[in-house]
Amino acid sequence: MDVHDDQHFARHIGVEVVEITPDKVRAKLAARPGLANRRGILHGGAIMSLADTLGGIGTTANLPKGASTTTIESKTNFFAPVPLGDTAHAEATPLHRGRTTMVWQTRITRGDGKLAALVTQTQLVIAPPAAAKT
């Protein structure tokens, strides 16, 4: 699976996917000036985008043939800032893999290993379109 085939925004902000399995997705994102807030730290929206990307990739890795997904809920808790020059490391794991929804939790840590954010998101599983009748 070429993750960048449908991850244009993730590629644009610099998400680097490191590992994709049905049980875990890992990636990293460098904290650089274009992604900073006015306090000189990685913007919360960038952190949330990183997590959303991983949850979508993880769900996609578990979908039946022809199905697709979209995020329907996301909750983020922030614990520590990721300063400019550092890197956010993210690991997403499934909490629930159902027929109609999947729930993923993404832990985002700083370069020093300190927990920066915890994101829980729900992905809708969209069934493949029915075969066209002739």
Sign of the torsion angle spanned by Cα atoms 65, 70, 72, 77: positive
- The pLDDT, as a whole number, for residue 7 is 73
- The pLDDT, as a whole number, for residue 6 is 66
Contacts of 68 (CB under 8 A, 6+ apart): 60, 126, 128
**H or E element, residue 76:** strand 68-78
Q: What is the mean pLDDT of each run of 10 residues along the chain (134 residues)?
A: 66 96 98 97 98 98 96 98 98 98 98 98 94 54
Answer for the pair 26, 19: CB distance below 8 angstroms, yes or no.
yes
Domain boundaries, the chain: 3-126
Answer for the pair 59, 98: CB distance below 8 angstroms, yes or no.
no
Q: What is the pLDDT of residues 28-50, one digit of tens each?
A: 999 999 999 999 999 999 999 99
**% the chain with pLDDT above 90:** 90
Superfamily of structural domain 3-126: Hotdog Thioesterase (3.10.129.10)
- The pLDDT, as a whole number, for residue 1 is 46
